[in-house]
């Protein structure tokens, strides 16, 4: 068992106890000063325990910052390189500890999926190792040479440039994955180390790779500096390193040079078709490429449920396409943004089908370009064609976050709930912050009777919702995901509190009202209010939404109520649909 010391102010004892319990569940041996023996001097025991700990967790608060004991324990741990910090009330650690990373546990209530808890646990695990109950064997590589591309650091002095360094990291990962003799760790796994100070040898051991690539990007105007170093995961020694100072227009050449240098350093044979694949960038315009990376970053990290995310992506991709009308990836991302605006937000915009067609004309291998076509066919009730497009997307890229989410929605439409859950579990493994995917998993695990999994998904939904709402308190869609998850956990008062708040700040959000109807039907047994919200949500519903309503398991408790069909009847009449869609 690993030894972890917890330092805290007396007023924070309840949270310290909760944190200690969580670490013990993770297999760690935890010591707090409530275990002081009666026969030994206090200071002597504290000094012995702090010096012997592999990780010292200091819980900062306004009161802790005033404590000479906490400061002394933190200072000892800092000198011994065993310090792990967390803030309990949102305050920054005092100097000089404010220069060290600090997990945010403000308002933490014990949820194991909360970002702050995961950050603290990861740091403790890195220092102290994992206990016997959580030890995981290293991944076994399928090839003799394997690599992880860590997220390149943004050295531009401007957080707004983060999209560029992330995009470079992604593209180098993609390039290297085209080499058959090399195994490459997926982008999403590598990005779990973003922002962390890591020991490269430990990363290599944890991921089971022979080599690690790390680097940095500094972009200023039309100038870019990229440094990269390839490190032997076993020894920690440099295998290759270089620095590139170029005009931004040379960005593609730099990426090619890095990939080829890695191939040479690893003594791999690059096949002619692999060399050609690496050199294909999709565009020759550095400006269009820069815009695409910006749009992609908004797509991945923007506020899900806020149509402004899609609007920004649409505008930026449209500009990239103006610069290069044959940029397939920009066309595909434009198509997905338009499709979401049309079908998820019910905006009067193009449905993305034309953009998707353009993307596939330029590059038939873009899996995500099939997704707007799936929705167009479903809206027209051409289900065989929609399913064929979905299969094509899955065949092209079964590791795509977007493809797995859409495959889950299609499986839900066919009431294949176990299959839908499998796709969504894959989606959240690729994009852990996807609050919408977590919320859908709550629905699916409830329908399947997987109560433990439902609880995990609900807690993850709430944790991610709170994080998003901290940046945008007016996002009614995100509030509705949180409300539904509180309802699923049996916390009706919290659920209704979130609903009331959402209705105050975003009353015209029809998707939000649909989510309320689902929560009220499935978890709160309130048919009256569920039907009221459902009817309100149908104001602009098309066949796409009708498909969802007729298959959604959250609404099953309403289906035997005559009022349910009475609510749907005007929509069916408006769309020229006389009978419900048969369940496949």
Pairing assessment for the beta strands 211-220 and 153-154 based on DSSP bridges: parallel
How high is the pLDDT of residue 33? 67
82-141: per-residue pLDDT in tens?
899 999 988 888 888 877 778 889 888 777 778 888 888 888 888 887 543 333 345 555
Res 301 pLDDT > 80 = no
Max mean pLDDT among 219-228, 272-281, 298-307, 554-563 falls in: 554-563
> Alpha carbon of 376 to those of 345, 386, 398, 404, 415: distances in Å?
15, 8, 21, 18, 20
CA pair distance 40, 31, nearest whole angstrom: 16
Res 462 pLDDT > 50 = yes
Q: Is the peptide bond before 66 cis (omega within 30 degrees of 0)?
A: no
Question: Does residue 306 or residue 526 have the better pLDDT?
Answer: 526
> 520 near 545, Cβ under 8 Å?
no
pLDDT grade for 45, boundaries at 50, 70 and 90: low
How high is the pLDDT of residue 346? 85
How high is the pLDDT of residue 124? 87
How high is the pLDDT of residue 133? 37
Res 581 pLDDT > 70 = no
Instruction: Bin 313: left if φ > 0, else alpha if -120 < ψ < 50, else beta.
Output: alpha
The pLDDT of 20-35, averaged and rounded, is 77
pLDDT grade for 583, boundaries at 50, 70 and 90: very low
Q: Where are the domains of the chain?
A: 2-128, 146-281, 283-397, 404-584
pLDDT grade for 374, boundaries at 50, 70 and 90: very high
How high is the pLDDT of residue 142? 56
| Region of poorest pLDDT, from 85-89, 139-143, 276-280, 523-527 | 139-143
How high is the pLDDT of residue 410? 96
How high is the pLDDT of residue 484? 97
How high is the pLDDT of residue 161? 83
Question: Does residue 516 or residue 14 have the better pLDDT?
Answer: 516
Percentage of the chain surpassing pLDDT 70? 94
How high is the pLDDT of residue 488? 97
CA pair distance 257, 253, nearest whole angstrom: 6
Max mean pLDDT among 2-16, 258-272, 318-332, 452-466 falls in: 318-332
- Class for domain 283-397, per CATH? mainly alpha
CA pair distance 486, 458, nearest whole angstrom: 7
CA pair distance 79, 82, nearest whole angstrom: 8
Percentage of the chain surpassing pLDDT 90? 49
CATH 1.10.10.1400 given to domain 404-584: no
Query: With DSSP H G I counted as helix, E B as strand and the rest as coil, what are the percentages for the chain, rounded to 5?
Result: 60, 10, 30
User: Any residues with CB less than 8 A from the CB of 435 and at least 6 apart, and which?
Assistant: 304, 305, 461, 464, 465, 468, 478, 481
| Region of poorest pLDDT, from 269-273, 351-355, 364-368, 507-511 | 269-273
> 553 near 559, Cβ under 8 Å?
no
Fold topology of 2-128: Rossmann fold (3.40.50)
> 389 near 380, Cβ under 8 Å?
no
Fold topology of 146-281: Rossmann fold (3.40.50)
Q: How far is CA 444 from the centre of its chain?
A: 19
pLDDT grade for 432, boundaries at 50, 70 and 90: confident
Question: Does residue 273 or residue 326 have the better pLDDT?
Answer: 326
What value does the mean pLDDT of the chain take? 87
The pLDDT of 252-280, averaged and rounded, is 84
Max mean pLDDT among 107-121, 292-306, 433-447 falls in: 433-447
On the question of a common fold for 283-397 and 404-584, the answer reads yes
385-430: per-residue pLDDT in tens?
999 999 999 999 998 999 999 999 999 999 999 999 999 998 988 8
How high is the pLDDT of residue 1? 42
Res 36 pLDDT > 60 = no
């Amino acid at each position: 068992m690993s030894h972890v010391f917890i330092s805290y102010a007396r007023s924070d004892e309840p949270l310290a106890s909760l944190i200690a319990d969580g670490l013990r569940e993770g297999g760690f041996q935890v010591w707090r000063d409530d275990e002081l023996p009666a026969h030994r001097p206090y200071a002597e025991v504290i000094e012995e325990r702090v010096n012997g700990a592999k990780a010292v967790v200091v819980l900062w608060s306004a009161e802790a910052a005033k404590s000479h004991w906490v400061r002394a324990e933190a200072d000892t741990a800092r000198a011994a390189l065993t310090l792990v910090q967390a803030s309990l009330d949102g305050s920054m650690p005092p100097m000089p500890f404010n220069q060290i990373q600090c997990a945010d546990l403000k308002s933490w209530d014990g949820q194991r999926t909360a970002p702050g808890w995961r950050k603290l646990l990861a740091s403790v695990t890195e220092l102290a190792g994992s206990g016997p109950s959580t030890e995981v064997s290293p991944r076994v590589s399928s090839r003799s040479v394997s690599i992880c591309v860590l997220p390149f650091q943004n050295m531009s002095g401007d957080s707004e440039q983060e999209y560029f360094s992330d995009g470079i990291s992604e593209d180098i990962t993609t390039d290297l994955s085209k080499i058959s003799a090399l195994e490459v760790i997926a982008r999403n796994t590598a990005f779990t180390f973003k922002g962390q100070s890591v020991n490269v040898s430990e990363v290599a051991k944890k991921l089971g790779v022979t080599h690690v690539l790390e680097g940095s990007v500094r972009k200023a105007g039309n100038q870019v500096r990229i440094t990269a170093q390839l490190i032997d995961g076993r020894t920690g020694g440099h295998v290759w390193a270089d620095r590139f100072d170029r005009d931004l227009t040379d960005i593609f050449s730099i990426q090619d040079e890095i990939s080829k240098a890695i191939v040479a350093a690893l003594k791999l044979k690059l096949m002619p078709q692999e060399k050609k694949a690496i050199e294909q960038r999709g565009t020759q315009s550095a400006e269009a490429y820069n815009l695409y990376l910006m749009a992609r970053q908004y797509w991945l990290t923007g506020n899900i449920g806020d149509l402004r995310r899609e609007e920004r992506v649409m505008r930026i991709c449209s500009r990239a396409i103006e610069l290069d009308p044959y940029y397939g990836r920009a066309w595909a991302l434009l198509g997905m943004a338009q499709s979401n605006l049309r079908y998820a937000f019910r905006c009067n915009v193009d449905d993305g089908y034309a953009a998707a067609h353009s993307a596939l004309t330029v590059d038939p291998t873009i899996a995500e370009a099939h997704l707007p076509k799936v929705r167009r066919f479903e809206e027209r009730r051409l289900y065989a064609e929609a399913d064929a497009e979905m299969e094509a997307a899955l065949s092209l890229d079964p590791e795509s976050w977007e493809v797995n989410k859409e495959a889950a929605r299609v499986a839900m439409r066919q009431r294949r709930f176990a299959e839908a859950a499998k796709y969504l579990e894959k989606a959240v493994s690729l994009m852990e912050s996807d609050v919408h995917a977590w919320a859908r998993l709550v629905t699916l695990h409830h329908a399947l009777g997987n109560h433990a999994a439902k609880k995990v998904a609900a807690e993850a939904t709430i944790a991610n919702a709170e994080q998003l709402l901290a940046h945008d308190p007016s996002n009614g869609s995100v509030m509705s995901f949180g409300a539904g998850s509180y309802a699923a956990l049996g916390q009706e008062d919290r659920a209704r509190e979130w609903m009331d708040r959402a209705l105050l700040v975003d009353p015209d959000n029809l998707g939000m009202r649909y989510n309320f109807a689902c929560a009220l039907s499935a978890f709160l047994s309130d048919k009256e209010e569920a039907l009221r919200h459902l009817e309100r949500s149908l104001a602009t519903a098309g066949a796409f939404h009708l498909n969802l309503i007729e298959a959604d398991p959250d609404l099953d408790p309403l289906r035997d109520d005559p009022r349910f069909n009475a609510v749907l009847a005007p929509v069916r009449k408006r769309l020229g649909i006389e009978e419900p869609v048969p369940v496949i």
